[in-house]
Structure 1
């Protein structure tokens, strides 16, 4: 992994042992705090902090005040926008409200062009019904909307991690470094979803929260679409998969028919004296890992479907987070999915893939339900020669 993705090429952290790092943080007397520090001035906050940490020596108090002053927490080129975490989501950004267009400005050509574009987009989106079925993330679960359990002692403190999952992409390896850098540029990485987990969650629970199109359904050829065909989940039929973290393959062995995808890779590594270990996904808790924040790791399933994912943040949960461990993992954000449009009507979302057709101009061709039946069947009988497969697109996000 380090040879393909050297750590020095990424803006990643050093390697952390999560268990040791969070243990040091939880030893601080943070829970419970009797003072609401949200609206304190810097001097008042310093007094509360000294009281919480039981610091009485004047010299120590002065030194703490000097090193923890808010003016020392800025860096060159820092984003001046203020982040607002009041809604419980850690990636929200509070921006200035848009400038209102008054009556005098409505005669400007740029304003007219913008209003025309907005009306055209509104008309397009209203016609495409599939846009109304977008997946809604469980953002409410990330908020503290219910009465949270009381955290009585520091050892009971909940430690959270934010993980970003990316869509799979084709990696091109070349012996020439300049070709390899061009073929595998960072723009190949497209965000898929962000998941909040606790250190007490297992890697198997993390895997169950990851959504991917290839897990949706088994793509069998269908001769007659009018006959109901039983839906078969490819994730249940092919449950194998692994998470590759810090040179360890964590395999999913919860099902009897699971196979070890990592065996061929480990055999390849053994021939080259590259040591790679094996772990169990179901019995390994995230808090037991040693990892780098911002460094890419690999999730593989469904044979050759590979996702890059990274740990991007870690913190001790507070009153603005959901303190109910049973709600985790939580999917807080997801890439806005759009289905492929029907190649004939260009309005409805595609539900069928037609290949090897003697009557269609493209191969393959995506069709909606209505166009597929009206073009390829007359009185329920098949017209021409073609093969039809169900197309699983956006449905994964509308469950």
Structure 2
């Protein structure tokens, strides 16, 4: 596959080998584990003094204690999901306020601050924030963390340029987790389907009927040269079979492998950073995704295993206005209609019923489907997701 789409990053990363390499670099000679707290430091540095002597040593190298000043700027922990992280201006003395240059600077700063708040609040790229109230069960440097960015699905057409991929979601996953754990956290509008033609009944239910627990839900990840198929349910089919049959007839595509998604862990993967991979489900719904970073778990990360995979950020969709009135949000997609300029056309509930029906009877030939494009689902088990923007 890489013979067709040439990779810019030629290095192939093995997650398990990278973990061992990083840990060996961090471990000084003679240590078996990386120090994770102040209590581990005396043993790591072969300190034989008392606890009181060790505390005095810590205080002597404490930068906040020895190099701090009352004139220092206040330092706060930054998180992009919190507006209050924007630094407040320094208090200006009454004497300085007499100068015109200071007054003009205050006006300019106020406008910049207002514009910054607006840009953050209405930015399509949103970040989640999970309060850290639970006991930790992970240790820094014991796991690899992979940062994975998914993009919105698209319909490919030969010879048609589609533009840049649109960001959808970003997850943090642990190397010890399976690929199915990530798949269960991914949100896609197709999960709310299947969507049927409801043009015969304008008052059809807004929500699709709930799926049974045994209903088929196939899908696969294609990473590097391997298809990882989700076969947890007996009704799931192997989506990759037809692709492999086609690939065998292509001289430019090498050997492709197949593994079970539920048995594969991220620590067993091999990939190139930034190289596009594929997630496919619900028939032909394809998502491009990239593994943008592969690093050690740090003390600043959330050290609670059951919270992973973590949804770090997502694209907040804008509402699509009705193509007829232009005021209300679209609720339906109308296709194959000779009464619209656009195909498909996005229309609201009122315009849909008044424009396409007379006394509840369908006018003309068209297809209509429910549109849920502005709904968002943040999948996280029994935790309150604090989304501030």
1:353–1:277 distance in 2 versus 1, CA, 3 Å: same
Unaligned runs of 5+ in 1: 37-47, 56-83, 126-130, 175-179
1:337–1:230 distance in 2 versus 1, CA, 3 Å: closer
Equivalent residue for 2:203? Answer: 226
Equivalent residue for 2:234? Answer: 256
Contact 1:88 1:144 in 2 (8 A): no
Once residues 140 and 301 of structure 1 are traced to their aligned partners in structure 2, the CA distance between those partners, rounded to angstroms, is 28
Contact 2:150 2:168 in 1 (8 A): yes
- 2:246 pairs with 257, 268, 275, which one? 268
Matched, 1:285 2:265: yes
- 1:201 pairs with 177, 183, 204, which one? 177
1:65-124 CA-partner distances (Å, limit 9, x unpaired) = xxxxxxxxxxxxxxxxxxx9945779x9x988799x98658999xx99x99x98xx99xx
- When structure 1 is superposed on structure 2, of 224-233 and 236-245 the one drifting more is 224-233
Between Structure 1 and Structure 2, the one with more helix by share is 1
Equivalent residue for 2:129? Answer: 140
Contact 1:197 1:328 in 2 (8 A): yes
Equivalent residue for 2:222? Answer: 244
Residue 144 of structure 1 and its aligned partner are, at CA, apart by 3.6
Unaligned runs of 5+ in 2: 28-32, 48-74, 91-100, 380-389
Contact 1:135 1:337 in 2 (8 A): no
Describe the SS at the equivalent of 2:2: coil
Contact 2:334 2:343 in 1 (8 A): yes
Once residues 175 and 304 of structure 2 are traced to their aligned partners in structure 1, the CA distance between those partners, rounded to angstroms, is 13
* Alignment length (residue pairs): 325
Contact 2:125 2:313 in 1 (8 A): no
Once residues 352 and 299 of structure 2 are traced to their aligned partners in structure 1, the CA distance between those partners, rounded to angstroms, is 53
Matched, 1:149 2:137: yes
Residue 249 of structure 1 and its aligned partner are, at CA, apart by 0.5
1:31–1:229 distance in 2 versus 1, CA, 3 Å: same
Equivalent residue for 1:162? Answer: 147
1:224–1:209 distance in 2 versus 1, CA, 3 Å: same
- 2:193 pairs with 196, 217, 236, which one? 217
Describe the SS at the equivalent of 1:308: strand
Residue 191 of structure 1 and its aligned partner are, at CA, apart by 1.5
Residue 34 of structure 1 and its aligned partner are, at CA, apart by 0.7
Residue 305 of structure 1 and its aligned partner are, at CA, apart by 2.2
Residue 252 of structure 1 and its aligned partner are, at CA, apart by 0.9
Describe the SS at the equivalent of 1:293: coil
1:292–1:361 distance in 2 versus 1, CA, 3 Å: closer
1:340–1:16 distance in 2 versus 1, CA, 3 Å: same
Once residues 380 and 320 of structure 1 are traced to their aligned partners in structure 2, the CA distance between those partners, rounded to angstroms, is 59
Describe the SS at the equivalent of 1:287: helix
Equivalent residue for 1:75? Answer: none
Once residues 244 and 235 of structure 1 are traced to their aligned partners in structure 2, the CA distance between those partners, rounded to angstroms, is 27
Describe the SS at the equivalent of 2:184: helix
- 2:166 pairs with 190, 212, 228, which one? 190
1:122-157 CA-partner distances (Å, limit 9, x unpaired) = 9xx9xxxxx9xx9975x223x644332364x97xx2
Q: CA RMSD in A?
A: 4.3
Describe the SS at the equivalent of 2:176: coil
**TM-score when scaled to structure 2?**
0.69
Contact 1:167 1:191 in 2 (8 A): yes
Describe the SS at the equivalent of 1:337: coil
1:360–1:230 distance in 2 versus 1, CA, 3 Å: same
Contact 1:135 1:397 in 2 (8 A): no
Residue 310 of structure 1 and its aligned partner are, at CA, apart by 1.3
1:180-199 CA-partner distances (Å, limit 9, x unpaired) = 9xx47xx5222211100001
Describe the SS at the equivalent of 1:209: coil
Equivalent residue for 1:34? Answer: 38
Contact 2:125 2:315 in 1 (8 A): no
Contact 1:86 1:320 in 2 (8 A): no
1:271–1:199 distance in 2 versus 1, CA, 3 Å: same
Contact 2:322 2:328 in 1 (8 A): yes
Matched, 1:3 2:7: no
Once residues 301 and 371 of structure 2 are traced to their aligned partners in structure 1, the CA distance between those partners, rounded to angstroms, is 38
Describe the SS at the equivalent of 1:395: coil
